[in-house]
Amino acid sequence: MNIAVIPARGGSKRIVRKNIKDFCGKPLIAWSIAAARESGCFDRILVSTDDDEIAAVAEAYGAQAPFRRPAELADDFTPTVPVIAHAVEWAQRIAPVERACCIYATAPLLHSDDLVRGCAMLDGERDYAFSVTTFPFPIQRALRLDDRGHVGMIDPAQRDTRSQDLEEAYHDAGQFYWGRTEAWLAHRPIFAARSAAVVLPRKRVQDIDTPEDWERAETLFRMLRDSRLD
């Protein structure tokens, strides 16, 4: 079977109770659950949480929260891969898991079609398929400031290179990570040669770590929703 795993611990610091805070009319996590359900890719949609309130909200919106994540996997420093591996191990007690997709609870701009594309890209030669987008400015022209506020180029060799001649660079879009079961359980790295990239437009990508991020994400969400209604 294919499963979705939505990590959603209760200890968010910068935006308190972020995963179940109202976002454009629904708890934030509800949008990720909806995208997973609409994709038709999953036999089960599991929420990995250490928090009973988050579990109840997730279940109210159509996910399952049949276990609680142990404390050692729910602190500020726990990486994603061990959390998904833990959920996969739990699910495999019920039925064999072929593929698991980590979907972040903080991805209200996620489209179900992107999940379908990622699933299709995960063939036998690939461990993972995950969402990426382009940087809005050439990273080769990045600047640094020293302790006196003086400006310098990180790569001075690119000082006179035209921006259109520089290689396009991508970053993790922070929405989803499809992976084969053996890759999750072996804790293989996601950002590696055996991964495929699902490229998303920048207008549908926004991290939500700070109140400013939250405000920007809601603005983008409303603009995209209104454009679909026209």
- Catalytic machinery residues: 159
- Packing angle of the helix pair 28-39, 52-60 (nearest 10 deg): 40
Angle at 138 between CA 117 and CA 192, to 5 degrees: 45
Helix segments in 65-180, DSSP class H: 80-91, 112-121
Cα gap 177→118, rounded to integer Å: 8
SS3 call for 39 = helix
- Cα–Cα distance for residue pair 18/32, rounded to 1 Å: 13
C-beta separation of 46 from 66 below 8 A: yes
Q: Are 118 and 112 in contact (CB under 8 A)?
A: no
Rounded to the nearest angstrom, the gap between the alpha carbon of residue 87 and the centroid of all alpha carbons in its chain is: 16
CA distance 32 to 161: 41
Angle at 130 between CA 125 and CA 132, to 5 degrees: 125
- The C-alpha atoms of residue 47 and residue 51 are separated, in whole angstroms, by 10
